[in-house]
Amino acid sequence: MAEIKVFESIMNRNNALAEKNKKLLKGALVINLMSSPGAGKTSLLEKSLKSLSKKYRTGVIEGDIATSNDADRIKRHLSPSSVYQIKTENYGGGCHLDSKMIAKAVKAIKADKKPYDIIIIENVGNLICPADFYLGEDKKVVMLSVTEGDDKPLKYPGMFAAADLVILSKTDLLKHLDFSLKKAEKYIRKVNKKTLILNMSVKKNEGMKQWLGIMGEWVKRKRALF
């Protein structure tokens, strides 16, 4: 029985399809938004879309194991044809999104035909697997809510090491908790020297202006490449 040399990177197929998806999306800024469940990804999107959709042609791809609850929330703020819900239970109940699912979503919101400025992919709530699966995004945004514990960046280093922006969310709750912003920042820096870090309370509007500013800058930079 012959042993065949393969030397194939396990993520090759996913990454190749991700690059193909990226090409279809042309000049659109693609954001991969990740966090554990309940950190506030959908709330952040709901709040941001009010301003973003006035200025930019925006599309949202939602990922969950089951239900279309999140897409339903987003559709209140965005044309329903620009919103797509991936249910990973249809792909075996995956705990993350992969490029195959994104390829389908891109077609569903017609991002291969009509131009978008921003596409936001809200990944399945999970700090582990989504970090391994590149989706063709330009930027990875990781949210960590202050109710989760400030040492999470050390416990899930893969996720935080890959981030371009870490949002520390729900800061309005800090007064009730032992969470230390200083420690969280120190731990993020331990695994990622380059990421931006932003404190945010969607409820109290803290950090929203900066977040929209960062997105605007990223859109500009992406456009300049096309």
Contacts with other proteins by CB under 8 A lie at 1-11, 13-14, 92, 94-96, 126, 128-129, 132-133, 154, 157-158, 190-191, 193
Q: Between residues 104 and 203, which has the closer beta carbon with respect to other proteins?
A: 104
Q: Please, what is the minimum distance in Å from the beta carbon of residue 131 to other proteins?
A: 9
CB 125 within 8 A of CB 39: yes
Q: Which long-range contacts (CB under 8 A, 24 or more apart) does 111-114 make?
A: 111/24, 111/25, 111/28, 111/59, 112/24, 112/25, 114/57
Q: Between residues 159 and 168, which has the closer beta carbon with respect to other proteins?
A: 159
Q: Please, what is the minimum distance in Å from the beta carbon of residue 59 to other proteins?
A: 25
Residue type, 72: D
Q: Between residues 72 and 151, which has the closer beta carbon with respect to other proteins?
A: 151
Q: Between residues 97 and 105, which has the closer beta carbon with respect to other proteins?
A: 97
Q: Between residues 9 and 54, which has the closer beta carbon with respect to other proteins?
A: 9
15: left (phi over 0), alpha (psi -120 to 50) or beta: alpha
Q: Between residues 128 and 220, which has the closer beta carbon with respect to other proteins?
A: 128
Q: Between residues 3 and 178, which has the closer beta carbon with respect to other proteins?
A: 3
CA distance 35 to 177: 19
Q: Please, what is the minimum distance in Å from the beta carbon of residue 97 to other proteins?
A: 11
Q: Please, what is the minimum distance in Å from the beta carbon of residue 12 to other proteins?
A: 8
Q: Please, what is the minimum distance in Å from the beta carbon of residue 223 to other proteins?
A: 29
Residue 45: partners with Cβ closer than 8 Å, 6 or more residues away: 33, 60, 74, 120, 122
> Which helix (H) or strand (E) covers residue 182, if one does?
helix 181-191
Phi, psi of 176 (to 5 degrees): -95, -5
Q: Please, what is the minimum distance in Å from the beta carbon of residue 54 to other proteins?
A: 37
Q: Please, what is the minimum distance in Å from the beta carbon of residue 110 to other proteins?
A: 28
CA distance 139 to 120: 10
Residue 58: partners with Cβ closer than 8 Å, 6 or more residues away: 49, 52, 78, 82, 116, 117, 118, 119, 120
